[in-house]
């Protein structure tokens, strides 16, 4: 049986003096007579002959190598391997062997040079829903004023921090979290191992979630206004933390001055056909504004209007550029429902405008991190480099949910085995360059989903397995606030409970696990930047390795009964394995795993 091994990292891919050397390992009884590297020169398929090395890297393993010029051409280097015998051929790609040439976008890919923000791969992100994380000590009475919430048809509700959250008035219920509260809790986040923050919207808006923007140029007074964001930017820099904002550019709120639904005689677009912003929104023949998914309070912006394009991203003083510049100096944007943004009340020319947002961000701050929210397949945007990365629901969160919690985002049953789970994850990864994979935004849950703990239900013992997977899988891990201390909750608004600062209400063992895994990731180049090698995926057990140069990290996930797994891979031979986390034993190719457990070993 023929076997092949290749990862798009050292020692299989090395770069020296603008020369890229690619190596393939093969083992089996019927080795090919020739091996060709299928690469590209200016998008043209180009075969390069690989040379079989005289020295075996491991007993019974042959190595084939070729060096190509990397000094010019497109930065994304796509390649696969064509194996030739006298009467047949086979191809080897990230998804294994094939009897026919692979699609162009499902081959190995490395970005050389890499134009993306290099710093992202080294981070541990923390997502904060500002109203529910921390209330500052010096919060003013004005920040707690009560007002009429038009979209809900009621006054907002003010609650004390430890009052229970209920589904009633979800978008109108405030607990008083603010940006100074976040600043005060940065030492806690530092101890957790967090190095970067992603904040849900902070700009002026009437709802608690702030996705109904009233003013993109100012921070909401409830959160402390502009001065509080400046203080947070200052304190995060003191702590060496990055800070990313949420950009809601698909729609505004209906209270925004551009639209102004609730002032009949205003210059806003809603009631005034002569408004300068009338063309910034789309209207039906009977004069009704087209909104986002039936929410009248969220009228969609129309990017066929030059004014919208200039205001959001193109002009020198655009919103995208404004917050990336000093004194704000934000590190990037998360783009809300960005796949739906476009012209004419829909998503026409979407890719053009998403790419324009990223380009404006890069012109203003070259290392800005621009990533999109996509519950569906994000690869169209990533392959076109319209985004640096995406929230990795499709390639990480959903397959992990199906394997560990037996459910999908709709609460429909989805029971899959390890082989199916890994096939799902690997199929998604195969379409992305190695560097893009490292920047994908991985989460167990978010403000838009049930908490992972609640999804697990009676299988809550599997929670640590998901946490280990989050910190060890390719991509940047993001902790949704409170997950680390065991906060639960079903769909919005119940997934947005106030953070339990009373330590008696915290799962301290879970918190300690998060801290240890964040520390392990910080210590390991392989976990942050290595390739991913699937070692075993059968039944209830997944085993994978992260590899970079001589460093290897071996991760085992067992959702079922006690298991024994035989591990045979030339990529794992040699070195001294040290168990660094979890339950299990690994000696002489045999792995013993405890029931419902994970284990991590490391070798350098």
Helix (H) or strand (E) holding 527: helix 525-529
Q: Sheet harboring 585-587: ordered strands across?
A: 563-566, 590-593, 585-587
Q: What are phi and psi of 231, to 5 degrees?
A: -65, -40
Active site residue 373: yes
Helix (H) or strand (E) holding 20: strand 19-27
Output the six-digit token pair for 558. 């067992």
Taking phi over 0 as left and psi of -120 to 50 as alpha, with beta for the rest, 539 belongs to: left
What sign does the dihedral 165-170-175-179 (CA atoms) show?
positive
**Cβ neighbours of residue 495 closer than 8 Å, sequence gap 6 or more:** 445, 446, 447, 448, 449, 450, 451, 454, 489
Output the six-digit token pair for 73. 């051409």
Q: How far is CA 392 from the centre of its chain?
A: 4
Active site residue 254: no
- Say which DSSP state 393 is in: I
Is residue 534 within 8 A of residue 422, CB to CB? The reply is: yes
CA distance 156 to 207: 8
Residue carrying structure tokens 């920047």: 439
CA distance 443 to 466: 10
- Catalytic residue, from 131, 220, 373, 581: name it: 373
Q: How far is CA 375 from the centre of its chain?
A: 11
Output the six-digit token pair for 531. 């390739």
Residue carrying structure tokens 């003096």: 17
Strand partners, 370: 333
- Catalytic residue, from 336, 388, 483, 551: name it: 336
Is residue 302 within 8 A of residue 214, CB to CB? The reply is: no
Strand partners, 173: 157
Task: Just list the catalytic residues.
Answer: 336, 373
């Amino acid at each position: 049986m023929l076997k092949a091994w290749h990862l798009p990292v050292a020692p299989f891919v090395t770069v020296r003096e603008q020369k890229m050397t690619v190596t393939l390992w093969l083992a089996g009884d019927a080795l090919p007579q020739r091996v060709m590297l299928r690469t590209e020169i200016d998008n043209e398929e180009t075969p390069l002959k690989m040379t079989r090395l005289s020295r075996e890297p491991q007993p019974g393993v042959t190595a084939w190598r070729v060096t190509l010029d990397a000094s010019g051409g497109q930065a994304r280097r796509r390649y696969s391997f064509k194996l030739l015998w006298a009467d047949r051929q086979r191809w080897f790609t990230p998804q294994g062997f094939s009897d026919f040439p692979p699609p162009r976008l499902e081959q190995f890919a490395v970005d050389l040079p890499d134009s993306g923000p290099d710093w992202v791969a080294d981070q541990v992100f923390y997502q904060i829903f500002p109203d529910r994380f921390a209330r500052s000590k010096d919060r003013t009475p004005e920040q707690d004023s009560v007002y009429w919430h038009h979209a809900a048809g009621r006054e907002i509700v003010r609650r004390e921090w430890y009052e229970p959250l209920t589904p009633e008035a979800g978008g109108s219920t405030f607990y008083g979290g603010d940006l100074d509260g976040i600043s005060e809790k940065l030492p806690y986040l530092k101890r957790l191992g967090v190095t970067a923050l992603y904040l849900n919207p902070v700009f002026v808006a009437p709802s608690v979630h702030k996705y109904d923007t009233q003013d993109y140029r100012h921070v909401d007074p409830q959160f402390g206004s502009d001065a509080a964001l400046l203080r947070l930017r200052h304190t995060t820099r003191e702590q060496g933390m990055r800070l990313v904002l949420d950009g809601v550019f698909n729609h505004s709120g209906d209270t925004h001055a551009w639209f102004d639904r609730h002032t009949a005689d205003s210059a806003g677009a809603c009631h005034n056909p002569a408004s300068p912003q009338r063309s910034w929104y789309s209207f039906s023949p009977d004069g009704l504004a087209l909104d986002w998914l039936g929410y009248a309070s969220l009228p969609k912006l129309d990017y066929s209007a030059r004014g919208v394009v200039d205001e959001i991203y193109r002009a020198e003083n655009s919103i995208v550029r404004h917050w990336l510049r000093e004194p704000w100096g934000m590190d990037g944007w998360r783009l809300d429902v960005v796949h739906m943004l476009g012209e004419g009340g829909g998503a026409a020319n979407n890719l053009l405008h998403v790419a324009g947002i990223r380009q404006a961000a890069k012109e203003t701050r070259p290392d800005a991190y621009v990533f999109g929210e996509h519950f569906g397949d994000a690869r169209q945007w990533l392959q076109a480099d319209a985004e640096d990365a995406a929230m990795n629901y499709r390639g990480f969160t959903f397959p992990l949910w199906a394997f560990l919690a037996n459910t999908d985002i709709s609460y429909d049953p989805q029971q899959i085995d390890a082989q199916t789970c890994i096939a799902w994850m690997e199929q998604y990864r195969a379409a992305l360059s190695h560097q893009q994979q490292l920047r994908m935004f991985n989460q167990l849950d978010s403000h838009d989903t049930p908490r992972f703990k609640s999804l697990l239900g009676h299988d809550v013992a599997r929670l640590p397995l998901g946490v280990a997977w989050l910190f060890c899988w390719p991509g940047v891990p993001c902790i949704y606030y409170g997950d680390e201390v065991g906060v639960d909750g079903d769909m919005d608004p119940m997934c947005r409970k106030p953070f339990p600062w009373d330590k008696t209400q915290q799962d301290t063992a879970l918190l300690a696990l998060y801290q240890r895994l964040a520390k392990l990731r910080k210590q390991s180049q392989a976990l942050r930047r290595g390739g991913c090698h699937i070692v075993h995926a059968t039944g209830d057990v997944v085993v994978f390795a992260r590899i970079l140069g001589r460093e290897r990290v071996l991760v085992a996930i067992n959702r079922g009964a006690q298991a024994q797994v035989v591990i045979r891979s030339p990529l794992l031979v040699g070195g001294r394995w040290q168990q660094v986390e979890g339950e299990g034993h690994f000696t002489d190719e045999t792995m013993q795993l405890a029931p419902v457990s994970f284990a991590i070993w490391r070798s350098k």
